[in-house]
Amino acid sequence: MKLGFLTACLPGRSLEEIATWAGQNGFEALEIAAWPDLGDRPFTATHLKAESFNRAGAESVRALMDRHGLTASSLSFYDNNLHPDPEERQAINDHVLACLEAAAALECPTVGTFVGRHPGQTVAENLCAAETVFAPLVERAGELGVKIIIENCVMEGWHPDGYPGNLAYSPELWEWMFSLGLYLNFDPSHLVWMGIDPIEALRPYVDHVAHAQAKDIETFPDRRNRYGYPGKAVVREDPWDVGWWRYRVPGLGEVDWRRLIDTLYEGGFDGVLSVEHEDPVWGGDEDRVRTGLQIAHRTLRPLIVS
């Protein structure tokens, strides 16, 4: 197992600058942000332009990774593949394809995205649509030798009422995904606030985990007693402000990383555990973000066999 991080937490830095810092600070892998330019949309970055990536670009990135003792663990483009606008949906599906081609050129094993959801349709209708949308993506991924991984993020901010906006939040939905040829980018933090034990949920499915993310969570049960699980309902100016929990870097939240990493090892996982830094306490500027990554490293590194 290797320890890395998702580059989206440093959107203003180049991939070269991030790789240099990562190598100097004991990380072994990068989950490379590959969104198209989306302006100021939070939690996204463009550290690799998949739509224009070519052989020369692949050779350059591979050389950069080699210089700093790093592995490219995944290309990340987490967007709504079931977007309600047909043109936007097609553009997102097409960018996933571009990421698959870029990953193959880079010899990167996975591409990460979301299933997503059309908020105006039932879960059953969305699942039926997803089977059509993902069939050609999975087929192309197989031809290229790349796995499509789906993060089990709830994406509650995509739904007008704070309900799940990404249909990958539970083991029931994971089993459906696996039947389509999709794999899991396992993130325990989302399961905690959904009321699911992340370790027991993970245990039967480790062989379907092609990549894992390390993000922690801090919950405030007294606030949950006011809002309930979906979060704020009457006044919710920020769609992502649920009101009773927040993400933290590993070690500052409630996930039992010792048991979780042991469960990954017991199940035979030998991939990359990638820190996804969305901690508001250790965010806001690059120095604080880097400190947050170092906190995560100090928490996780002793638990990973070198």
Per-residue pLDDT tens digits of the chain, which is 306 residues long? 999 999 999 999 999 999 999 999 999 999 999 999 877 787 899 999 999 999 999 999 999 999 999 999 999 999 999 999 999 999 999 999 999 999 999 999 999 999 999 999 999 999 999 999 999 999 999 999 999 999 999 999 999 899 999 999 999 999 999 999 999 999 999 999 999 999 999 999 999 999 999 999 999 999 999 999 999 999 999 999 999 999 999 999 999 999 999 999 999 999 999 999 999 999 999 999 999 999 999 999 999 986
Sign of CA dihedral 186, 189, 190, 194: positive
If DSSP codes are grouped into helix, strand and coil, which group holds residue 13? coil
Tokens 């700093």 identify what position? 68
pLDDT in the model for residue 42: 79
Number of structural domains found in the chain: 1
d(CA 158, CA 116): 9
Contacts of 37 (CB under 8 A, 6+ apart): 46
pLDDT in the model for residue 195: 96
* Ramachandran angles phi, psi of 33, nearest 5°: -65, 130
Contacts of 214 (CB under 8 A, 6+ apart): 187, 250, 257, 273, 274, 275, 276, 296, 300
When computed from its CA atoms, the radius of gyration of the chain, rounded to whole angstroms, is 18
Q: Which residues pair with 32 in a beta bridge?
A: 75
Sign of CA dihedral 89, 92, 96, 101: positive
Tokens 């004991």 identify what position? 26
* Ramachandran angles phi, psi of 82, nearest 5°: -120, 30
Residue 99, domain CATH: 3.20.20.150
Residue type, 64: L
Tokens 């050129």 identify what position? 105
Which structural domain, as residue segments, surrounds residue 121? 2-303
DSSP state of 31: E
Alpha-carbon distances, residue 178 vs 1, 28, 73, 144, 169 (angstroms): 22, 28, 20, 18, 13
pLDDT in the model for residue 298: 98
Q: Which residues pair with 212 in a beta bridge?
A: 186, 273
d(CA 202, CA 186): 8
Buried b (16+ CB within 10 A) or exposed e, 160-174: eebbbbbbbbbbebb
